[in-house]
Structure 1
Amino acid sequence: MVAPRALLALAVCACYPASYLTNKYVLSVLKFTYPTLFQGWQVLVGGLLLHLSWRRGWVEMHGGSRSDVLTWLPASMLFVGIIYAGSRALSRLPVPVFLILHNAAEVIFCGHQKCFRKEKISSAKICSTLFLLAAVGCLPFNDPQFDPEGYFWAVIHLLCVGAYKIVRKAQNPSALSDIDQQYLNYIFSVALLAFASHPTGDLVSVLDFPFLYFYRFHGSCCASGVLGFLLMLSTVKLQSVVAPGQCAAWIFLSQVLTAGLSALLFDLVLTRATLGCFLLGGLGEALLVFSERKGS
Structure 2
Amino acid sequence: MPFRRFLLGATFCCFYLLFYFTNKYVLSVLKFTYPTLFQGWQTLVGGLLLAVSGKLGWVEVHSISRSAALSWLPGSVLFVGNIYAGSRALSRLPIPIFFTLYNASEVVACFIQKLIQREATSLMKLLSVMLLLAAAVCLPLHDPQFDPSGYFWAVIHFLCVGGYKVFKRSKSSLLSDLEQQYINYVFSVLLLAFSAHPTGDLFGALEFPFLHSYKFHSGCCASGVLGFLVLLATVRLKSSLPVEHCAAWVFLAKVLAAVLSLFVFDIVVNIPTVCCLLLSCLGEALFVYSKRSAAER
> TM class, shorter-chain normalised?
over 0.9
1:171 maps to what in 2?
Answer: 171
Paired residue type of 1:114: K
1:146 maps to what in 2?
Answer: 146
**RMSD (Å) for aligned C-alpha atoms:** 1.1
1:292 maps to what in 2?
Answer: 291
Q: How far off its partner does 1:3 sit?
A: 4.5
Task: After TM superposition, list the pairs within 5 Å mapping 1:124-203 onto structure 2.
Answer: 124-174=124-174, 176-203=175-202
Could you tell me which runs of 5 or more consecutive residues in structure 2 were left unpaired when the two chains were aligned: none
What's the % identity of the aligned pairs? 60
Aligned 8 A contact 2:244 2:291 in 1: yes
Do residues 122 (structure 1) and 89 (structure 2) align? no
2:258 maps to what in 1?
Answer: 259
Aligned 8 A contact 1:30 1:211 in 2: yes
Mapped partners of 1:115, 1:19: distance in 2: 34
Aligned 8 A contact 1:11 1:231 in 2: no
Counterpart secondary structure, 1:134? helix
Mapped partners of 2:128, 2:40: distance in 1: 34
Residue by residue over 1:189-235, the C-alpha shift from the partner in whole angstroms, topping out at 9 and shown as x without a partner, is 00000000000011111111000001111111111111111011100
Task: After TM superposition, list the pairs within 5 Å mapping 1:274-293 onto structure 2.
Answer: 274-293=273-292
Mapped partners of 1:295, 1:11: distance in 2: 27
Change (3 A) 1:49 1:4: farther
Q: How far off its partner does 1:180 sit?
A: 0.2
Counterpart secondary structure, 1:219? helix
Change (3 A) 1:4 1:51: farther
Mapped partners of 1:275, 1:57: distance in 2: 46
1:245 maps to what in 2?
Answer: 244
Mapped partners of 2:8, 2:53: distance in 1: 17
Counterpart secondary structure, 2:32? coil
Mapped partners of 2:51, 2:206: distance in 1: 30
Do residues 14 (structure 1) and 14 (structure 2) align? yes
Paired residue type of 1:263: L
Q: Across the two proteins, how many residue pairs are aligned to each other?
A: 295
Residue by residue over 1:166-193, the C-alpha shift from the partner in whole angstroms, topping out at 9 and shown as x without a partner, is 111222322x111100000000000000
Q: How far off its partner does 1:237 sit?
A: 1.0
Do residues 38 (structure 1) and 38 (structure 2) align? yes
Counterpart secondary structure, 2:282? helix
2:268 maps to what in 1?
Answer: 269
Q: How far off its partner does 1:74 sit?
A: 0.4
1:27 maps to what in 2?
Answer: 27
Aligned 8 A contact 2:112 2:163 in 1: no
